[in-house]
């Protein structure tokens, strides 16, 4: 993939935090990852806005249903993790 060098201004305290976690070559990778993550969030927001325009806002009932389904999925993941760690110990 082609790359291009750019200059950005970052608050010193934030830069120092990042530098403490990555070596000098890693800063570019860290910033690239952060920019990709932000772009993903921007695109999700655009999709969400479009869906709300097309279908209306999410209702409280739909939010509650989603939360219940998510809780079930998270519980299943926890069961699988617990089962996997128990199997590894045996």
Q: What is the pLDDT of residues 53-83, one digit of tens each?
A: 999 999 999 999 999 999 999 999 999 999 8
Residues 53 and 70 both lie in one domain: no
Nearest alpha carbon to residue 29 among 39, 16, 19:
19
Q: Measure the CA–CA gap between 59 and 61, rounded to whole angstroms.
A: 5
> Which residue range(s) make up the domain with 26?
11-57
Question: Is residue 3 in a domain?
Answer: no
Q: pLDDT at position 84, please?
A: 77
Question: Is residue 5 in a domain?
Answer: no
Quote the pTM value. Answer: 0.61
- Are the C-beta atoms of 22 and 30 separated by less than 8 Å? yes
pLDDT of 89 strictly over 60: no
Residues 46 and 67 both lie in one domain: no
Q: How many domains does the chain have?
A: 2
Q: What tens digit of pLDDT does each residue of 18-46 get? A: 988 887 668 988 999 999 999 999 999 99
Question: Is residue 1 in a domain?
Answer: no
Answer positive or negative: Cα dihedral of 35, 40, 44, 47. positive
pLDDT of 90 strictly over 70: no
Question: Is residue 82 in a domain?
Answer: yes
């Amino acid at each position: 993939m082609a790359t291009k060098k750019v200059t950005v201004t970052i608050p010193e305290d934030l830069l120092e935090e990042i530098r403490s976690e990555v070596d000098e070559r890693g800063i570019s990778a860290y910033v690239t990852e952060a920019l990709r993550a932000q772009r993903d969030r921007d695109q999700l927001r655009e999709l969400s806005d479009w869906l709300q325009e097309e279908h209306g806002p999410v209702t409280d009932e739909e939010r509650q249903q989603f939360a219940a389904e998510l809780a079930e999925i998270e519980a299943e993941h926890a069961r699988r993790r617990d089962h996997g760690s128990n199997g590894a110990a045996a």
